[in-house]
Structures are given as C-alpha cells and as structure tokens.
Amino acid sequence: MAKNPNKIRAKRVASDYVIDIIMIVTIVLVLVLTLYPFLNSLAISLNDSNDTTLGGLTIYPRKFTWRNYELVFTNQKIWMAYFITIARTVIGTVGGVLITGMLAFAISRTNLVGKKVYAMLCLIPMYFGGGLMPTYFLILNLGLKNNFLVYIIPALVNLWNMILMRSYFQSLPEALEESAL
C-alpha cells in the first residue's frame, strides 16, 4: 500500500532547530527595539513631570498621572491645530483627486489638440523640480504666505497620480464615452 505523499515529512536535523532559534531571537529582538521607543514615549506622557526630569529609561510610568493630557487638551491651540489638520486633509484630498482626475481625463483623450505638449509640460516638472527657493518665491508672489491655502494649492496636482489615472482612463473603451454622450 502506497503512502500518502502529503503525510511524508522530512526529518529535521539539529541545524534546522538552530536556525529556528536564531530566527525567533532575531524577530523578538527587532520587536523589542521597535516597540521600546513607543512604550517609552507613552510612559513619559503618563508620568509626573517632576519625576520625568530625573531621567532614566523606562517602559512604565513611575508616578502615574493624567495631568499632562489634561494640560494639553485644555489648551485651545491644540483644538485649532486639529481643525487645521482635518480641514487640510479633507479639502486637500478632495481637491487633489478632482483636479488631478480632470487633468488626467483631459490628457487621456485622443482628440485633445496639443496633447503631447501638455503631457510634456506635466512630465518635465515631475522629474526636474524647481527647488526650495523658487517654490518659496512662488508662494510669496501668489500671496500664500501665512495663509491656509498654502497647504492646499501647491499639492492639488500630483503628477504621478495623474499618470496612473490617465492610464486608467485610456483603458476605458470609447464606446463607454459614446454611450454616455
């Protein structure tokens, strides 16, 4: 009677166990080294400020207190910072998808006059950025210094995402556009 090939197991030798132990130790070491900074930051945030100034490395608070979080969350500036972060994310994401999508759709059309020129005008800045100083002067001349829109306008068009969207729009059959019209 023939043995089932799925049930045949190779015998393990001592070197297999040594390699397993080395891999487990390495994984545990990487896990500890990765988690320690986060645990230390959490411990410091939950520790009494006078005790924290004494220093030392720890992963648990020596004198537990919620006072640090009370101080942070009763400050009105933190709520304004959260509002700006959320507004920037929502407005920037929606605006970026809309503007990038419109540009990608326009460049994907075969009947667009000057399509290659527009594509090159998009590709050149993707590979060769102007640099920090020209970008700063552009923002300054547009009146975006100390303005909320400085977070939104420069990031409205992502050229790499435009290329991906253009490729998708080009893959759509022309019959779909004709039926929509």
pTM of the model: 0.66
Q: Which residue has the tokens 């210094």?
A: 145
pLDDT > 70 in the chain, percent: 95
- 80 and 36 within one domain: no
Token pair recorded at residue 21? 């132990």
CATH of the domain at 175: 1.10.3720.10
Note whether 105 and 65 are same-domain residues.
no
Cα–Cα distance measured from residue 45 to residue 54, given in angstroms and rounded to the nearest whole number: 14
The pLDDT tens digits of the residues spanning 102-117 come to 999 999 988 889 888 9
Confidence of residue 8 (pLDDT cuts 50, 70, 90): low
The count of structural domains within the chain is 2
Cα–Cα distance for residue pair 103/122, rounded to 1 Å? 10
pLDDT digit string (tens) for 121-155? 988 888 888 889 998 999 999 999 999 999 899 88
Q: Which of 18, 22, 60, 25 is nearest to 43 (CA)?
A: 60
Report CA-CA distances (Å) from 147 to 15, 140, 144, 151: 64, 10, 5, 8
4 within a domain of the structure (yes/no): no
Q: Are residues 98 and 48 in the same domain?
A: no
Across all residues in the chain, what is the average pLDDT? 89
Per-residue pLDDT tens digits for 31-75: 999 999 999 999 989 998 888 888 777 888 888 999 999 999 999
User: According to the model, what pLDDT value does residue 31 have?
Assistant: 95
pLDDT of the residue at 14: 86
Domain holding 109, by residue range, is 76-180
pLDDT at position 107 is 92
Q: Are residues 90 and 169 in the same domain?
A: yes
pLDDT value at position 58? 80
Helix, strand or coil, per DSSP, at residue 140 = helix
pLDDT at 137: 94
